[in-house]
Structure 1
Amino acid sequence: MKKILVIGSTGLLGKPVAFALQNAGFELTLFVRNDSLVKDIFPNTKIIKGDLAIKSDVEKAMQGQDAIFLNLSVKQTEKLTDFHAEGEGLDTIIEAAHKAGIKRIAYLSSLVHLYQGMNNFDWWVFRIKQEAVQKIKKSGIPYSIFYPSTFMESIFYQSKQGSKIALGGKSEYPMYYISAKDYAQQVAKSFEVLPESESYDFVVQGLEAFTQDAAAKEFIKYYTKENLGIMWAPMFVMKLMGVFSQKFNYGYHIVEALNKYPEKFEAQQTWELLGKPQITLKSFAENL
């Protein structure tokens, strides 16, 4: 497999994967809605402008490809009744993949979505993610599904609000924070070493485990470009704000799941097959 279609290459997690695949020698095609966002980032890469909601766009992008990598998500502003890339969009992708003879689907899922159903937790976003995994597994196409722990990048690019790292509630279990760069290297390696006809589930975890507050303190300790502090909000406040804001409602559910999901180390097979992570939270903060 040499030709890979990447759907979702412009974001915080998709961009490192696209670079890693390109550096590994794969011939990439990037499927994007706004091509002006990626032309400067990937100047010598084939770009197809299209929309997952348009079947003909997806089928055109699949032509001549060997495999696809999916970095899909439910955006913070989306509602249950909206079009979802991981829902209706994935249905179109799988149908087009069969027509195009795609040999492998690689897909970014998450560990924390497995909290769905625990402690009476029920959220439509996690239901969509669980259904997406089942759709891929039932497609009949060999797959690689990645279930990452919390990304280090989330501390700086999502939790950081001005000079504060915003936290909510009490983090009950430590998480094995992983850097997007280490994860991207594992994705690239998977396309190089996995038998073409076999399917795999990969838990993606980093070298060290931290609760959210401990991770914030570790980051602040070694991030020297500015003085940062911690801002904490009780969960009931976040829940109340979620009544008035879709974005805060999304954040409330994510934080609740992150705080309570009993994450265990399960990445040994991933390390053996795809390589051990190299980046600690300390080195991430120092080199950001």
Structure 2
Amino acid sequence: MNIAIIGANGLIGKPVTQQLIDAGFSVTILARHPEQVRSLFPTARIIQADLQNPASIRAGLQNQQALYLNLSVRQDEKPGDFHTETDGMKTIIAAAKQAGIQRIGYLSSLVMRYQGMNGFHWWVFDIKHEAVRLLKASDIPVTIFYPSTFMESFLMQIQGPFLALGGSSTIPLWFIAGSDYGRQVVRAFQQSDDQNRDYVIQGPEAYTYEEAARQFVQHYPQKKLLLMKAPVEVLQFLGRFNQKMNYGGHILEALNKYPERFEAEQTWADLGKPTITINDYARQV
């Protein structure tokens, strides 16, 4: 199968792209900066493309059968900016229809369900929900993946000798490794049909965020890490003056309060059960 990927060099885009290549897919990567992905995936075909340039997206999707999307809202984005998951999504859908794409796979979010709970409302989650609506209204068969927290998030929280945590939660999360998720994406495209599919993506074991962080720190071999905790309220206050802090305060509030429960039974039956534990992941990175 010929498959195009947008977002291959993202934190989760990398392991998914590698799994698709390893599974024998003919991969074409659409990238705004091709030089940044060429060294990562030397066997892939790489096309320069930009979501704000519709002609480049149309050209990149020619002769492709499927499309995988790893899009996101950057931490420094503002509500009035160009958003890849809404403004860009409209360009993608139009180009995919013209190219005859047979299926689109899209990485969404499980925690975006927190929108509307406990009076919580965040414009970023509005974008996430709108992206799903656009895809399901496109008349192209779509597979939408709703993941729990990725283990890769720990790498983003390492600051010198510390692993930084924000707030606290008693709610267990089913942490998932990017490579396990990548293998599930492979199976989803291998088994694709003409129906829309929704899959909750969760890992093999559940911990609160602090419990998971302690497991990661204990088994991380590269250097000794100490946990550093900051109250969410501090981030929310600083977020009045800094866009990245604003983003962090909102996402941490949602992660700490969303009442996640195990919902991946059908995913495991259809796409395989994840096997990588937090301890495994910490030793591998």
Q: TM-score, normalised by structure 2?
A: 0.98
Which residue is 2:254 aligned to? 257
Q: Is the 8 A contact 2:204 2:274 kept in 1?
A: yes
Which residue is 1:11 aligned to? 10
In the alignment, structure 2 segments of 5+ residues that lack a partner are none
May I ask how many residue pairs the two structures share in their alignment? 285
Which residue is 1:41 aligned to? 40
Tell me how far 1:224 sits from its aligned partner. 2.9
After the TM superposition, which residues 1-150 of structure 1 pair with which residues of structure 2 at under 5 Å, given as runs? 2-150=1-149
The CA distance in 1 between the partners of 2:122 and 2:33, in whole Å, is 30
The CA distance in 2 between the partners of 1:184 and 1:150, in whole Å, is 14
Q: Quick one: which of 159, 165, 168 aligns to 1:167?
A: 165
**TM superposition outliers: structure 1 runs of 4+ over 6 Å:** none
Tell me how far 1:172 sits from its aligned partner. 3.1
Tell me how far 1:29 sits from its aligned partner. 0.6
Matched residue SS, 1:244 = coil
Deviations 1:125-170 (A, max 9, x none): 0000001011111111111000010001101x21211111111112
Q: Quick one: which of 270, 273, 277 aligns to 2:270?
A: 273
Which residue is 2:187 aligned to? 189
Query: Is 1:176 matched with 2:174?
Result: yes
Q: Identical aligned pairs, as a percentage? A: 50
Q: Quick one: which of 274, 277, 282 aligns to 2:279?
A: 282
The CA distance in 2 between the partners of 1:23 and 1:189, in whole Å, is 12
Q: Is the 8 A contact 2:4 2:29 kept in 1?
A: yes
Q: Quick one: which of 207, 213, 216 aligns to 1:216?
A: 213
Q: Is the 8 A contact 2:16 2:182 kept in 1?
A: yes
Deviations 1:158-190 (A, max 9, x none): 121111111111213110000000000000111
Tell me how far 1:63 sits from its aligned partner. 0.9
Give the aligned CA root-mean-square deviation in angstroms: 0.9
Q: Is the 8 A contact 2:175 2:203 kept in 1?
A: yes
Matched residue SS, 2:240 = helix
The CA distance in 2 between the partners of 1:141 and 1:172, in whole Å, is 40
Q: TM-score, normalised by structure 1?
A: 0.97
The CA distance in 2 between the partners of 1:158 and 1:43, in whole Å, is 25
Matched residue SS, 2:239 = helix
